[in-house]
């Protein structure tokens, strides 16, 4: 689809596995172009990039399917959420798990397939429409990748699991993702990724199916973005609603301008912005706590330290309450973000946010210079 997300390209990697191309900030990329040039290009042509994309999220490589579960396991038997691993550690674990899996299920071909390389891209039109609606294009593309790859597995490998790794890139005019698809399923079956112009071909034409699933995703997002009511209802029901939405960031100059103004509207905007940051930190802490709790239970079971039935029942109830409280925190964050976004828009339209902040900062600077004189 011209104005949506598309399956742009497919190639095959043979010989050895190299996941560095998934990382837009990797040394491999830097060797092709100077790192400073890469960083200057990142987000330069993407509307709202500085608001929705944090520098900490750039260059991140993610694992999906059975590889996501494989890289969770620590050497001591405990488990860790991949998001809590450093990017380098995540790439190392993905590479080791991938190579181990292909060694377990070797190919008889002289030049075996190491990975299928796919490129998914988002049009400028859809990217800008998402930003205008306060939705994070990165999270939408993340979601699309997971949906398409899930459908791929269900359609061509039912009852089995595929494995893949991917990274989002912001260094071109279009937000896009590079995906590496493992050529073996969890049970060792070959994963094909082919197409054919001949209707009588025995090829399964997986790429044609991928394009069709993208078309469905684009139609779904077109409907969602076309109705503010449907947009709010759809996003509020998602488990990642706090990540799916974003709010305009306040620059140091804008914060200084709000503090110097001290009108009721400026104070509410400051308080709302701080509430968002505090709640985001609380959600991160809650997720870390729940993950640590799961690890503790896993270790206890591993050591055979099974608790009596009554304490186990109490723990289950406590975990259910914790999960519910996390969900409530996410819903509250989504609500505050939507309210803050509207308040920020009203304030900027009334006062000319950027220019007002600059004037305020300049006046402070002039006063400071006067005091020094």
Give the model confidence (pLDDT) of 10-57 as tens digits: 788 887 788 888 998 887 665 555 656 666 778 888 988 888 888 778
Q: Which long-range contacts (CB under 8 A, 24 or more apart) does 22-27 make?
A: 22/61, 22/91, 22/165, 22/166, 22/167, 22/178, 22/180, 23/59, 23/60, 23/61, 23/87, 23/91, 23/167, 24/58, 24/59, 24/167, 24/168, 24/169, 24/170, 24/171, 25/58, 25/59, 26/59
**Burial class of residue 29, CB neighbours in 10 A (0-12, 13-18, 19+):** middle
In this model, does residue 129 exceed pLDDT 80? yes
> In which band, very low, low, confident or very high, does the pLDDT at 368 lie, cut at 50, 70 and 90?
very low
Phi, psi of 190 (to 5 degrees): -70, 135
CA dihedral 16, 17, 22, 28 (to 10 degrees): -50
Q: Are 196 and 203 in contact (CB under 8 A)?
A: yes
User: Is-contact 150 162, C-beta < 8 A?
Assistant: no
Mean pLDDT of the chain: 82
Residue 274 pLDDT greater than 50, yes or no: yes
Where does the pLDDT of residue 356 fall: very low under 50, low under 70, confident under 90, or very high at 90 and above? very low
**How much is the pLDDT for 147?**
93
pLDDT at position 63: 96
Q: Which two tokens stand for residue 284?
A: 């991160």
Residue 120 and residue 177 in contact, taking contact as beta carbons nearer than 8 Å? yes
Task: Report the SS3 class of residue 320.
Answer: helix
- What is the widest separation between alpha-carbon atoms in the chain? 86
Q: Length of the chain in residues, anyone?
A: 373
Q: Classify residue 233 as exposed, middle or buried by CB count within 10 Å of its CB (0-12, 13-18, 19+).
A: exposed
**What's the pLDDT score for residue 165?**
96
Q: E-strand spans in 235-328?
A: none
pLDDT tens digits along 292-312: 777 666 556 655 666 666 666
- Say yes or no to pLDDT of 2 above 60: no
CA–CA gap between residue 132 and residue 227 (Å, rounded) = 13
* 81: number of Cβ within 10 Å: 14
The answer to whether 262 and 66 are in contact (CB under 8 A) is no
Residues whose CB is less than 8 angstroms from the CB of residue 169 and which lie 6 or more positions away in sequence, other chains included:
24, 175, 176, 177, 178
Q: What is the pLDDT of residue 291?
A: 74
d(CA 242, CA 332): 9
Stretch among 143-152, 161-170, 250-259, 316-325 having the lowest mean pLDDT: 316-325
User: Does the pLDDT at position 67 exceed 70?
Assistant: yes
In Å, what is the CA distance from 139 to each residue of 211, 229, 349?
A: 20, 20, 28
């Amino acid at each position: 689809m011209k104005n949506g997300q598309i399956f742009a390209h497919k190639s095959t990697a043979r010989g050895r596995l190299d996941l560095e191309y998934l990382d837009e900030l990797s040394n491999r990329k830097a060797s092709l172009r100077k790192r400073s040039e890469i960083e200057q290009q990142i987000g330069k042509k993407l509307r709202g990039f500085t608001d929705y994309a944090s520098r900490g999220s750039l260059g991140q490589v993610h694992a999906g399917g059975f590889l996501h579960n494989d890289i969770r396991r620590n050497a001591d038997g405990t488990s860790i959420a991949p998001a809590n691993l450093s990017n380098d550690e995540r790439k190392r674990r993905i590479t080791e798990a991938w190579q181990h899996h292909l060694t377990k299920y070797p190919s008889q071909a002289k030049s075996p397939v190491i990975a299928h390389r796919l490129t998914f891209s988002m049009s400028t039109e859809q990217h800008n429409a998402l930003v205008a609606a306060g939705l994070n294009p990165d999270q939408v593309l993340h979601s699309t990748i997971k949906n398409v790859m899930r459908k791929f597995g269900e359609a061509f490998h039912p009852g089995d699991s595929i494995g893949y790794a991917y990274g989002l890139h912001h260094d071109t005019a279009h937000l896009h993702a590079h995906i590496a698809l493992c050529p073996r399923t969890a049970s060792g079956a070959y994963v094909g990724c082919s197409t054919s112009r001949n209707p009588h071909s025995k090829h399964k034409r997986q790429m044609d199916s991928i394009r069709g699933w993208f078309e469905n995703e684009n139609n779904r997002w077109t409907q969602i973005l076309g109705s503010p009511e449907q947009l709010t209802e759809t996003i509020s029901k998602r488990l990642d609603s706090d990540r799916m939405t974003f709010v305009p960031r306040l620059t140091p100059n804008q914060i200084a301008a709000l503090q110097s103004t001290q009108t009721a509207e400026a104070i509410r905007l400051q308080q709302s912005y701080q509430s968002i940051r505090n709640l985001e930190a609380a959600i991160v802490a809650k997720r870390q706590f729940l993950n640590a709790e799961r690890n503790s239970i896993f270790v206890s079971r591993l050591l055979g330290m099974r608790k009596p039935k009554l304490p186990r029942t109490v723990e289950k109830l406590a975990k259910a309450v914790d999960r519910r409280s996390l969900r409530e925190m996410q819903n509250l964050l989504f609500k505050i973000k939507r309210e803050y976004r509207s308040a920020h828009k009203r304030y900027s339209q009334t006062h000319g946010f950027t220019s007002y902040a600059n004037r305020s900062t300049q006046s402070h600077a002039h006063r400071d210079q006067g005091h020094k004189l």
